[in-house]
Structure 1
C-alpha cells in the first residue's frame, strides 16, 4: 500500500491477492467490528454480489471502502522507514517472479551462499566477498508457472569453509551434495530414511550433521554421521524442532527452536500432545543422552528462531520481541531455582537487540568465529541479500526500538489464549474434585435450603445436568473434554475414482481431428452443427485416468465416439485411445457412408514436468 503496488486490488494475483484480502478484512474488523464480517459474507452469498453485501451491512460501497482501507494502513505505517534500504551492503536483488530462500555465510567469512527460485528453477549461488563476483554451482528443475516448493535445496557450510553441503529433493527422494570450492567438484549420495529435511548444520569437528527432519509427518531432530551414513533420532514428539545448530565451546551441546511445552523428552510421538503457541530456544547435551532439555527463558510470547554462536560468549538469533523479526545477541546464564538435597538451577538468557529493521529478517547466517553475517529480507516487492558485521551495529538502546501494532495485538491474543488454557486446567481440576464422591458425596454440591419452586421444578434425573450448567454458567464456552480421540486404523488404499471434469459444447468441429478417408475425390466433409460431450474420471492418487466422449450430429448419422485410458504409475506413462468416426460421403457415381476406427498406444518417459520422451503406435481401419 505504501509503495502504490496495491493501487488496484482487482488486478492482484497469487500471494499479493491473499495479503490484500487479509488486510482488507482486518481493516473491516478494526473499523466496523468483527461481528459484521459474517453478515457481509452471508448477504454476499444471498445477493451474489460483494457490492450489495457491503452496502447493506456497512452502508458504503466498495469504492468508498477502498479509500478508507488505504488511508487506514497509511496511518498505521506512517512511521515506516522501509529499513534497511538498498546500500553498498546489498549483494543481490531478486528479479521478477524470483524468490530467495536461504542464506549461509562460510566460517572464514569469504563466501556467502544463497538459494534462488524462479518459478521452480532452483539455483545455488556463491558470492565471493574478496572479488565481489557470483557463481552458480547448482541448478535444477525447469522454469514454468506452477506452485513451487520453496524449501529446497537446504544448504550449510563445513567448519573448514571449503565445502558447501546442500540437500535437494529429486525423483521422490533426497540427495545430499558436497561441493568443494577449491577443486570446484561436486560429490553426491542418496539420503535415505527421511521424508523431508528442513534445516541442518555441521558439528564443530565436521564429521556429523544435525538434521531438522520430517518422518511420518513429525518434525524431529536427528544426528547424522557422514562417514557411515547412519542416523540417530534425538527427539520424537509432535512438537516442531527447527533450526538446530551446534554451539561452539559446548562440546556436544546443540541449540534449536521448538514450540514444545515440556522440557522432558517423552519420545512417544503422541499425535494428540499439546504444543505451545510460540517457539522458544532449547539446548540439549548429546554427551549425556538423557531425556532432559534446557529451556532458555526470557519474557513471554516472543518467537525465537535460527540460533547459532558460542555458549561461553554470545550467540545470536532472530526474534519478534518488537513485532518484526530482528537480530538479537544473547548471553547464556543461570541462577539457583531451589535447593532440597541438591541445588537446582534455572537457565535463562539476556538479549540485546542488534537491529531495528522495519522488515523481517527472513533468514540469517552469522559466522561463529568472527562477526560477519549474511541476511535475507523482503523490501518493496523484491528479495535482497545483505552482508555486514555485528560490530558495526552494536546493541541498540531501548529508546531506539519501536514496538509495532502487530506486536501489541499478538501479545494480547497470546495472553488471552494462555489465560483460557490456565482457566481450563483449573476447571478440570475443580470438576475432578467435584466428581470424586469418595471425598464428598455428589449430592452435597446440589443441596440447598431454598424452598421448592413448583413453577420450575427440577426432577432428580435432571439435577446433575442442571447443576452442571449452573456450576459452569460463566465458562460454558470452555471445552473441558479430557477424552482422547481414537484415530482410525490405517487401511490399504483401494483404487477409487471420482469425476474429474464434464464438458458440453455445441459447435461445428469434430471430436477428434484425424485425416478423413480418401473417397475418390469427394470434398472435405463438414460435420455441421453438433453436440459434443466429454467426461473424465481419475483416481485419488492420480495414477489412472479414464476419459470418454461422444459427438451427436444434427442428422444423427455422422456420430463420433472416443475412449481413453491412461496409467501414470511407474516409470513409463501409458495411454490407450480408441476412436470411431462415421460420416456420409459421395463421388460422381455413388453416395455412401464411411467408418473410421483408430487405435493409439502411447508410451512416455517423463524427465521433468515439461520434458518427456514419447512414442506412439497407431492402427487405422477405414470401411465404406
Structure 2
C-alpha cells in the first residue's frame, strides 16, 4: 500500500518546471559549466533580503482522533464527529463508483477523509500550513497523496458536495500525474493544469448546475470579466471552468469530457486535448462558449434594484445579514474583508455608524461568511450577535441605551447557522449543529439551556416564531412532514421547503407551508402584521416572496367551519439574486445584499412597486425555463403511467392552520386530510422529482470498529536540487574584507526529504548539500511539533567552509543546534524565541610547516533570538504577492566563558505588496538593522542576493576598530558592486514593479513554465550602511581614507554623500524549475550616474 500523503487536497502545487527541450538542456549545461569554472567560494548564512516569514495556525483545543477503516478509504474524526464520519463512509460508497465510471478510471490507493466539525476548527489545524519559503524553487517534488479534508457548515448538501469534490480531485490528479512517486516526479515536471481546467472540472463533477452558479456566471459574463478565461483565478476560474465543461457536454456529449481529460494527459498539452476532441482550436472554442452564454444572458431584460446604498464596495469585501430594528431607526450589518470581520450599527436617519465588534485577519484561508449572525430584541434596545472566536461560539448582547456589551459561550453546539428572538424576548430560536445533526432548538437566555425541536440529519435552517409563540416556521430539505428521530444518516433531498411546527401542542406532524419541487424557499421572516416573507429561487433568481395568512368558509352545518391558507405572491421580480434581506416596517421597503459586478453590495428597493407586477412580467432565467421543460416532460411521462390504487397523488400544498392539527403520526402513504393550497402561487411542474422517505442504507450494517489514530509519517516533499546556496542559519565569520561576500558556494547538489503525519502536526526534515570537492558537505536535520498552540522545533546543522588569506588556508567546521518556540497570537502574527548553541572548530590546513604546527582553535557561542513576525500575504503567482510581510528581531550572542566577547543585533524588515491589476503588482521593502556590543556585525551594501559572479569594491574603507566578528550583506542595492557602503548599521528601501507579461496578455493556456512565469521588472533602490550614530556622523568610516606608503600613513577626510541609490530594469522567469533573475542597473552616487552593472542571480522576492 502506498503510504504517501499530500499537504492538503486543496493545496496541491506541483513542482514548477518547464518542458525540457534540447535547446534548454544545452543552455542549462552552459550555465553549469560557467559555475564549475568558479573558485571555491565562501558563504554567508544570513541571506540579505531572504528573510523567512510565514503564517500560523492557532490551536485553542486539543483533539483526540479516531478513525473507521473501510476497503477503499478511511474516515478520521474526533469528539462529536462520529456521525459525520459514518455519513461520509455511507455517501462515499455510493459516489466513488459513479465518479470512477464517469472518468473511466479506478482508484489506485486508499483515500483518507479527515473530517472537522466546522470550518472554524479546520482553520485551527496545521493541514495546508506551508513551511518556510524556499528561495530555490527547482527540484522540489510535492508528493500528491489521497487525503480529503472535509468540514461541516450545518448544511449536509454542502457536505456531500465536498465529498464528491474530494473524490474527483484525487481521481483527476491520479489520471494526470500518476499514483507512484516516480510517475509524480516525472509528470509534475512536464505540465501544469490551469485553475479553470482542474478546479472547474472538479466543480462540474461534484455539483449540478443550479441558480447560484448560474447567477455567478451571469454576473461574470455580462460584466465581461469572463471573456478571457486564462486570466481568471480563484472562484472566477471555478465558475467559468464549470460552465465551459458543461457547454462541452451539451454540445459534444458526456463522453467528450473523458476523452479530453485522457488526451490532455497523453499529450501533456491542454489545448491539444480540446482540439482532438472538438475539432476546434482552443481560442475558437472559448469564443463559442462565451458567445453562447453571453447571448443567452443578454436576451433577458435586466430588472435591477432601485437604489444601491452608498457604501465602499471592494473586491473580497462582503456585506452580510442586514437587520433593521423593530422601530425602523437602526440598521445593523456585518462586513467580511478577506477574514477581517466587523459588526456595524448605523442610524438610518442620520447615516452615522459605529463599530460594535471587530476580529480576524486577512490570512489567505477560506473565508467563512457564515458568521456573524445578527438579531434584534423585540424592544429594539438590544442587538444580539453570534460569532466564532478563539475556538468557541460566543453570544453577544449589546445594549444600545447603556452602550454596554455582555457575552457568553455556547458550549453545547458545534455550529450555529441562524438565530432569532422570540416575541417575549426571553428565548432565542436557533438552527444549530449538535453531534453532526443540523436541527432546530429553543434557547432559554436566563437559564442558559435549550430545548430540541427536531432530531434528524435533514438540514433545518432559519427558524422563526409566528402567530405569537404558537408556531415555528423553518426551512428544511426533509422529504416528509413528520419528525422522526434519526440515529443514522439518510439521503439528503436537494430542495428546501418551508414547514410549520406547533410549539403549543409539540406535535411531531409538521405542516407544509410550501412544496415546490424545482425551487428553494429559505429565510422566512414574519412581520408584526402577520405577513410572511421568504426567499424563493423559482424564477432562477432568488427573489423576495410574501404570503398572507388567511381563512375562508369551508362548509356550514350546525356551525361555520373555516379553512386556513396562505395567499402568496412574488414581491421583487428582480434579475439580481438576493442573499440576505431586512424589511423596513415604516416605509414598506426592503434592504438586501446581492452580487453585482463581482462585489457583494447592499441595495434598497420599494416593495409596493413590484407588487403591481403581473406574473408574466416576472423574468425567468433560461436555466430555470430549461429545468421546467425537462421537469414537465418527466411529469407527463409519469402521468401516462397508471397510478397505484393504494397511493393518491400529493397536492402542491402549503398547509398551515392554528390549533387544528392532530397529534397522531401520519402514515407514510396516507394522503393528508384538510390540505390548504397557497392561493396565487402556480403549481410547479415535475412533482415526481420530490424525494420520498427512504430507509437508511447504513441501518442494516453494524457500526465499524472504532480505532485510535496513531502518528505515522508520510513523504511530503523530495528535494533533488542543483543548488548555489548554503543552508542559512547564522552569520559568516568576518574575513577582513577585500574579497566578495558570496551568498552562493558555487555548484553543489542538495538532496533532501520532508516527512509529515496525516494531520501535519509533526514534521521531520533532513538533507545533505554535497559540494563539488565532496569535502565541505553540509548537513541539516529538524523536527517540528505543531500539535498544540505553542509550536516547537529543534534543528541540527553542520557545515564546513574554507577561508584563505595570504599566509594560511583555514577550514571551519561549525555545529549548530537551535531550539525554537513560536507562540501564535493569530493566523498572521506570532512571537518566536530561539535558543542557539554553536561550536566552531577552526583547522589550519597543512599548506606548509608553519601551518602544520598551528593548533586547532575552538569557539563556543551561545545565543538567544526573538522575532515578531506578521504575514498576511497571498501568493498571486511565482514571486507575485499581495498583502504585508514584516519582521522585527533582536539577537544576542555570547562566547561561553568570555564576558568581553558578545554581539547584539536588532533590526526589522517590512514588505508591502500592492496589486495594481490582476497579477501586476507594486512591491516595496524597507529594512534596517544595527549591531552593538563588544563585537560587531559588518554589513556590506551593494549587489543582489545570490549573485552568481559578484565583485567587491575595495576602495570603500573598513573601520577595523569596530571589532567585527561576523559579516553579512545589506541587499538589494543594484547598480553597484558589493561594499559600496559598509558599517555596523544599514537601512535600505527597495521598490519594484513586477509585470507577468504573458499571463496578462495571452488568452490561451500556457504550457511552458518559462513563458508562464516570465516577468518584466523595473526597480529603484536607495540606502546606506554606516558606522557611528547616523550616516552623517563624523565618526562614520566613510569620511576617512587611509593611505599607507612605507613608514608614512596619511589620513584624509573625504566628503561624500552616504546615501546611494540605483535604478534599472530586469527580467525573471522559471528555467528548468529554477527562478532566474537578470537585472541591469545604474548606480547613483554623489549625484552621478555610474555605468550599468548586470546581475545574474537565483532568488525570489527582492
Query: Is this a same-fold pair by TM over 0.5?
Result: yes
Aligned partner (choices 512, 515, 518) of residue 728 of structure 2: 512
Question: 2:224 corresponds to which residue?
Answer: 4
Aligned partner (choices 713, 716, 731) of residue 500 of structure 1: 716
Q: Residues 91 and 384 of structure 1 are in contact (CA less than 8 Å); yes or no, is this contact kept in structure 2?
A: no
- Give runs of aligned pairs for residues 392-403 of structure 1, distance below 5 A: 392-403=609-620
The number of aligned residues is 566
Q: For the structure 1 residues 197 and 55, does the alpha-carbon distance in structure 2 shift closer, same or farther, using more than 3 Å as the test?
A: same
Q: Residues 588 and 606 of structure 2 are in contact (CA less than 8 Å); yes or no, is this contact kept in structure 1?
A: yes
Q: Residues 109 and 372 of structure 1 are in contact (CA less than 8 Å); yes or no, is this contact kept in structure 2?
A: no
Q: Residues 203 and 209 of structure 1 are in contact (CA less than 8 Å); yes or no, is this contact kept in structure 2?
A: yes
C-alpha distance in 1 between matches for 2:529 and 2:363: 48
Question: 1:463 corresponds to which residue?
Answer: none
- Give runs of aligned pairs for residues 231-242 of structure 1, distance below 5 A: 231-242=450-461
C-alpha distance in 1 between matches for 2:355 and 2:567: 40
Q: Residues 301 and 619 of structure 2 are in contact (CA less than 8 Å); yes or no, is this contact kept in structure 1?
A: no
- Give runs of aligned pairs for residues 195-274 of structure 1, distance below 5 A: 195-247=414-466, 249-271=467-489, 273-274=490-491
Question: 1:456 corresponds to which residue?
Answer: none
Indicate yes or no: 2:412 matched with 1:193: yes
C-alpha distance in 2 between matches for 1:32 and 1:328: 39
Question: 1:461 corresponds to which residue?
Answer: none
Question: 2:622 corresponds to which residue?
Answer: 405
Indicate yes or no: 2:328 matched with 1:109: yes
Question: 2:495 corresponds to which residue?
Answer: 278
* Alpha-carbon offset, residue 365 of structure 1: 2.3
Indicate yes or no: 2:548 matched with 1:331: yes
Indicate yes or no: 2:755 matched with 1:537: yes
Partner-residue secondary structure (3-state), 1:92: coil
> What do residues 231-260 of structure 1 show as CA deviations (whole Å, max 9, x unaligned)?
22211111000111111x242311110000
C-alpha distance in 1 between matches for 2:430 and 2:587: 24
Aligned partner (choices 694, 698, 704) of residue 488 of structure 1: 704
Q: Residues 265 and 292 of structure 1 are in contact (CA less than 8 Å); yes or no, is this contact kept in structure 2?
A: yes
Q: For the structure 1 residues 418 and 42, does the alpha-carbon distance in structure 2 shift closer, same or farther, using more than 3 Å as the test?
A: farther
Aligned partner (choices 608, 613, 620) of residue 826 of structure 2: 608
C-alpha distance in 2 between matches for 1:521 and 1:143: 44
* Alpha-carbon offset, residue 490 of structure 1: 3.0
Q: For the structure 1 residues 118 and 128, does the alpha-carbon distance in structure 2 shift closer, same or farther, using more than 3 Å as the test?
A: same
Partner-residue secondary structure (3-state), 2:251: helix
* Alpha-carbon offset, residue 400 of structure 1: 1.0
C-alpha distance in 2 between matches for 1:92 and 1:293: 42
Question: 2:996 corresponds to which residue?
Answer: none
Question: 1:471 corresponds to which residue?
Answer: none
Question: 2:272 corresponds to which residue?
Answer: 52
* Alpha-carbon offset, residue 300 of structure 1: 3.2
* Alpha-carbon offset, residue 153 of structure 1: 1.4
* Alpha-carbon offset, residue 89 of structure 1: 5.2
C-alpha distance in 1 between matches for 2:451 and 2:258: 50
Partner-residue secondary structure (3-state), 2:624: helix
Q: Which moved more, 1:411-420 or 1:366-375?
A: 411-420
Instruction: Report which structure shows greater RCO (CA 8 Å, sep ≥6).
Output: 2
C-alpha distance in 2 between matches for 1:124 and 1:480: 44
Q: For the structure 1 residues 557 and 321, does the alpha-carbon distance in structure 2 shift closer, same or farther, using more than 3 Å as the test?
A: same
Partner-residue secondary structure (3-state), 1:306: strand
- Give runs of aligned pairs for residues 400-549 of structure 1, distance below 5 A: 400-411=617-628, 484=700, 486-517=702-733, 527-549=745-767
Q: Residues 250 and 310 of structure 1 are in contact (CA less than 8 Å); yes or no, is this contact kept in structure 2?
A: no
Question: 2:776 corresponds to which residue?
Answer: 558
Indicate yes or no: 2:541 matched with 1:321: no
Partner-residue secondary structure (3-state), 2:601: strand
Q: For the structure 1 residues 407 and 163, does the alpha-carbon distance in structure 2 shift closer, same or farther, using more than 3 Å as the test?
A: same
* Alpha-carbon offset, residue 596 of structure 1: 0.7
Q: For the structure 1 residues 216 and 482, does the alpha-carbon distance in structure 2 shift closer, same or farther, using more than 3 Å as the test?
A: closer
Unaligned 5+ runs, structure 2 = 1-220, 556-560, 647-693, 843-1102
Q: Which moved more, 1:280-289 or 1:581-590?
A: 581-590
> What do residues 443-468 of structure 1 show as CA deviations (whole Å, max 9, x unaligned)?
xxxxxxxxxxxxxxxxxxxxxxxxxx
* Alpha-carbon offset, residue 612 of structure 1: 1.4
Question: 1:291 corresponds to which residue?
Answer: 508
Indicate yes or no: 2:355 matched with 1:139: no
Question: 2:291 corresponds to which residue?
Answer: 71
* Alpha-carbon offset, residue 587 of structure 1: 4.8
TM-score (norm 2): 0.48
* Alpha-carbon offset, residue 125 of structure 1: 1.9
Partner-residue secondary structure (3-state), 1:29: helix
* Alpha-carbon offset, residue 164 of structure 1: 1.5
Q: Residues 309 and 602 of structure 2 are in contact (CA less than 8 Å); yes or no, is this contact kept in structure 1?
A: yes
Indicate yes or no: 2:605 matched with 1:385: no
C-alpha distance in 2 between matches for 1:612 and 1:481: 48
* Alpha-carbon offset, residue 518 of structure 1: 5.9
Q: Residues 308 and 601 of structure 2 are in contact (CA less than 8 Å); yes or no, is this contact kept in structure 1?
A: no
TM-score (norm 1): 0.83
Q: For the structure 1 residues 519 and 398, does the alpha-carbon distance in structure 2 shift closer, same or farther, using more than 3 Å as the test?
A: closer
Partner-residue secondary structure (3-state), 1:491: strand
* Alpha-carbon offset, residue 559 of structure 1: 1.1
Unaligned 5+ runs, structure 1 = 339-343, 430-478
C-alpha distance in 2 between matches for 1:415 and 1:58: 32
Aligned partner (choices 596, 609, 614) of residue 814 of structure 2: 596
RMSD: 3.3
Q: For the structure 1 residues 284 and 420, does the alpha-carbon distance in structure 2 shift closer, same or farther, using more than 3 Å as the test?
A: farther
Q: For the structure 1 residues 232 and 421, does the alpha-carbon distance in structure 2 shift closer, same or farther, using more than 3 Å as the test?
A: farther
C-alpha distance in 1 between matches for 2:639 and 2:352: 56
Indicate yes or no: 2:524 matched with 1:301: no
Question: 1:435 corresponds to which residue?
Answer: none
C-alpha distance in 1 between matches for 2:483 and 2:695: 26
